[in-house]
Amino acid sequence: MTIELDTTLAQAEVLFLSFAQVVADIDRRKAEQASATPANGSNLRNRLSTNSAKLDATNLSALHLSDELRELLKAARS
């Protein structure tokens, strides 16, 4: 059995770039949620689009990316 190196490297690059995009999206959404939290602590309800409702239903604060994975992303950018 042989492994096609070019194909494998291309697939690995696509997966890595997809992972980097997911991390960027999570970071952006966490920042949006933090800025959308009312400063006075009131629990006012807003009308939400379907996508926003799904986002609010997701507990982004429970998602944690290890420092090692963040270092990997930083190393890839440089």
- pLDDT, residue 58, reads 65
Q: How far is CA 69 from CA 60, 72, 74, 78, in A?
A: 17, 5, 9, 15
| pLDDT in 10s for each residue of the chain, 78 residues | 899 999 999 999 999 999 999 999 989 988 888 887 665 555 555 555 555 555 555 677 778 889 998 898 888 887
Give the span between the Cα atoms of 25 and 40, in whole angstroms.
27
- pLDDT, residue 61, reads 76
- pLDDT, residue 33, reads 82
Give the span between the Cα atoms of 27 and 3, in whole angstroms.
35
